[in-house]
Amino acid sequence: MSMSMASSRFLHQHSTNLFNNNYHFTNKPSSIRITTPSFKPISIKCAATTTQIQTPPPPTAQDRVFNFAAGPATLPENVLLRAQSELYNWRGSGMSVMEMSHRGKEFLSIIQKAESDLRTLLDIPSEYSVLFLQGGATTQFAAIPLNLCTAEDTVDFVVTGSWGDKAFKEAQKFSKPKLIWSGKSEKYTKIPSFDDLDQSPDARYLHICANETIHGVEFKDYPTPKNGSGILVADMSSNFCSKPVDVSKFGVIYAGAQKNVGPSGVTIVIIRKDLIGNAQGITPVMLDYKIHDENNSLYNTPPCYGIYMCGLVFEDLLEQGGLKEVEKKNKNKGEILYNAIDESNGFYRCPVEKSVRSLMNVPFTLEKSELEAEFIKEAAKEKMVQLKGHRSVGGMRASIYNAMPLAGVEKLVAFMKDFQARHA
Amino acid sequence: MSMSMASSRFLHQHSTNLFNNNYHFTNKPSSIRITTPSFKPISIKCAATTTQIQTPPPPTAQDRVFNFAAGPATLPENVLLRAQSELYNWRGSGMSVMEMSHRGKEFLSIIQKAESDLRTLLDIPSEYSVLFLQGGATTQFAAIPLNLCTAEDTVDFVVTGSWGDKAFKEAQKFSKPKLIWSGKSEKYTKIPSFDDLDQSPDARYLHICANETIHGVEFKDYPTPKNGSGILVADMSSNFCSKPVDVSKFGVIYAGAQKNVGPSGVTIVIIRKDLIGNAQGITPVMLDYKIHDENNSLYNTPPCYGIYMCGLVFEDLLEQGGLKEVEKKNKNKGEILYNAIDESNGFYRCPVEKSVRSLMNVPFTLEKSELEAEFIKEAAKEKMVQLKGHRSVGGMRASIYNAMPLAGVEKLVAFMKDFQARHA
């Protein structure tokens, strides 16, 4: 059911008239109180009956697709339903989260709870700040060198896919990044042995991208930085909160929310406090961690609704038992899908080295590549969408973030087996 | 009604089981098709009856407050109701807007419609690009000089309040801004006569803030830039789409959405195309207009849900008859409130020069300033909230953006009269 603006405006005008006609104030001094006649809910409901605005159609399982997009990505159904139920009026506040002053007590409670729950989920030590920012991970590609480096500082980059490569290139404007290892010549299917890394002793930090969405390569453990500062920096945009992480190994962790923890528009930065406060003079104020930290992410207006949605996701992850439990589910889903690929006698192929296969993004191709378009089309008919591989690599890609239900993976695998049977 | 995560998870598991048990695929080659048994809506409805998740309580007029916050700010009720109705499943797509790939056809239709409607509303000439960005107006304080200037370029600033002042300070990092007029000595209650401005002939552009939220000062017309480039740049964050604007007078117009046109997290930049493409080398990629313009705001993941909400607001403004009609309403609301202040025999006072009083933000004080806390408290009891003045100036402030209904202003004025009567 779609609601026309005209019918919704009817309600708007109707309620305005109610407001207009029903106030009277007396001018007698002292003890006469303002009386506001109570609204007549019955007439509002009649309007609702006529216009059918106020009750969204009950969602049914039939409506929902399995969405394998790489980000923005599927969100937990219960989180969406909750957000829907309280969009118009958040918990008796009389307004939407989208309308709240970011400095009012309601929104402050939302952002504080979100931070607190995230700290619990990741067991973030107290010497780290948590920032909720705008601008995506792509802004962090600039912010990190601007905040941590001088223009002359060496920074070591291990590039295992496209996102690490973008971070490396952006850092060139603000530091002296050095590409100490690249997986490009092997088409980004590997992660190096950490002992093999030729780290620069004077590097300000070592940068990795913990999970590469396009190439499906994921760090299962982390290198020890062998530079003087001992700082490791990781882009965890696409596996953030998919498994436990020992935050104390890192100087900075950053993550765009729109893979595992929320809608687009929120970027979370977890940064050791001692690394804050030495930004280069050319740093725009909105990229200066000190400004955001001093102001608890409220220097300017934060992306409030996105932060609220992240908060709902964090609550849901805690209810599931936290990141150890979530990791188990993700391992199970990944195993089911990778097994289906590996047991297909080559009909399906995944090029990634087995020990570093991502549990978040599963790229695969068909031996008979001419069938790929048909595969994607048929899957979409079965309500499995966004399976096309990234435009830079082609093939297929199933993104199976936290919120992809087990049932989605099972359906995909069943479909893959059947498709193979029909095209053997 | 608040929905617990536990009960919503019941539905989640229940629907997962339905998915799990009801697929069967055959392995016979060639012509056997996949059969997917249809879901049984009845059992889903039973779950709904038990858990009461799927139907948010009908909103009533009793629930809603009049929210006079300065941004984020009140949104049109019908827009909120519409967003609520389609949050879980946008128009049969089987997913939320928050889950859509920003490169998929559904979201592309959303962002394209939003841009198209905005162009109609503001009659934007074709030689201007429209960009939907993250980072707030505060990021634009840096982006504008980074994109339009060299580090040595002079830029003229007319500062009529706090926001212009912040823009001026940020520009110091990236250009040579010159404060050619400041209202500070008169407590930001005026706008200069344009003929009096001592513009620099070699200035790269002239910068104004079209409406200052803290001080309630609004440009009613605009200065002609007398610099060589003839470029006028305006921060229109807080009166964007409140009235028609002749875009052709400007080189750049920028606006954070969260006053008049949407939730926080979206910043709209309208920029003449010939001004794009000469960003300084130190410009972070996310602040480079060329990158965003070439990619139609999809270089990286845009703030999708915020853009969607802006789109709903643009549709609503068009349905109201466009910005001429909207301006009439805003003038009427402003007149009612300012008259109440002016006719109060000094009980209420607004310090702003009458010809430049903002139609968006109305700051006022009480003659008996000791009553201000009581005023705010009593108003809040009457469901008029966020009337406290900005922390830097004190007093009261009523923000009466587009979406503040006439009824809200009328209620406030009735309350003010009664309050005065009881404290005469």
Q: What string of pLDDT tens digits covers the 424 residues of chain A?
A: 344 444 444 334 333 333 333 333 333 333 333 343 443 333 333 333 333 344 555 666 568 999 999 999 999 999 999 999 999 999 999 999 999 999 999 999 999 999 999 999 999 999 999 999 999 999 999 999 999 999 999 999 999 999 999 999 999 999 999 999 999 999 999 999 999 999 999 999 999 999 999 999 999 999 999 988 889 999 999 999 999 999 999 999 999 999 999 999 999 999 999 999 999 999 999 999 999 999 999 999 999 999 999 999 999 999 999 999 999 999 999 999 999 999 999 999 999 999 999 999 999 999 999 999 999 999 999 999 999 999 888 999 999 999 999 999 999 999 999 999 999 8
- The per-residue pLDDT for A87 is 98
- Cβ contact B104–A69 (<8 Å): yes
Q: In this structure, how many other beta carbons lie within 10 angstroms of the beta carbon of residue A189?
A: 18
Residues in A closer than 8 angstroms to B21, CB to CB, are none
pLDDT digits (tens, 9 = 90+) for B333-380: 999 999 999 999 999 999 999 999 999 999 999 999 999 999 999 999
Question: Cα(B349)–Cα(B19) distance, rounded to whole angstroms?
Answer: 65
Residue A136 touches chain B, beta carbons under 8 Å: yes
Tell me if chain A has a CB within 8 Å of the CB of B317.
no
Rounding to the nearest 10 degrees, give the CA dihedral for residues A406, A410, A411, A417. Answer: 160
3 state SS of A371? helix
B284:A173 CB<8 A: yes
DSSP B328-355: HHHHHHHHHHHHHHHTSTTSEE--S-GG
* Spatial distance between the Cα atoms of A52 and B79, rounded to a whole number of angstroms: 15
Q: Interface pTM (ipTM) of the complex?
A: 0.88
CB of A76 within 8 Å of a chain B CB? The answer is yes
Q: Which two tokens stand for residue B27?
A: 């392995």
Give me the average pLDDT of each 10-residue run along chain B (424 residues): 42 37 36 39 34 50 88 98 97 97 97 98 98 98 98 98 98 98 97 96 97 98 92 98 98 98 98 98 98 98 98 98 98 98 98 98 96 98 97 94 98 98 92
CA distance B292 to chain A (A): 12
Cβ atoms of B109 and B116 closer than 8 Å? no
pLDDT of residue B56: 54
Q: Is A63 a catalytic residue?
A: no
Q: Which of B156, B163, B181, B243 is catalytic?
A: B163
Answer yes or no: do B89 and A59 touch at CB < 8 A: yes
- B284 and chain A: CB distance < 8 Å anywhere? yes
Give B112's contacts (C-beta < 8 A, 6+ positions apart).
Answer: none
B346, burial (CB in 10 Å: exposed 0-12, middle 13-18, buried 19+): exposed
Cβ–Cβ of B84/A80 closer than 8 Å?
Answer: no
Q: What is the rounded distance in angstroms from the CA atom of residue B143 to the CA atom of residue B69?
A: 27
Assess whether B235 carries a catalytic annotation: yes
For the entire predicted model, the pTM comes to 0.88
**Alpha carbon distance B213, B323 (integer Å):** 20
Cβ atoms < 10 Å from Cβ of A119:
17
Q: With contacts defined as CB-CB under 8 Å, which chain A residues touch B392?
A: none
Q: How many CB pairs under 8 A join A and B?
A: 400
Max CA separation in chain A (angstroms): 90
Tell me the domains of chain A and their CATH numbers: 77-320 (3.40.640.10), 322-422 (3.90.1150.10)
**Is B195 assigned a catalytic role?**
no
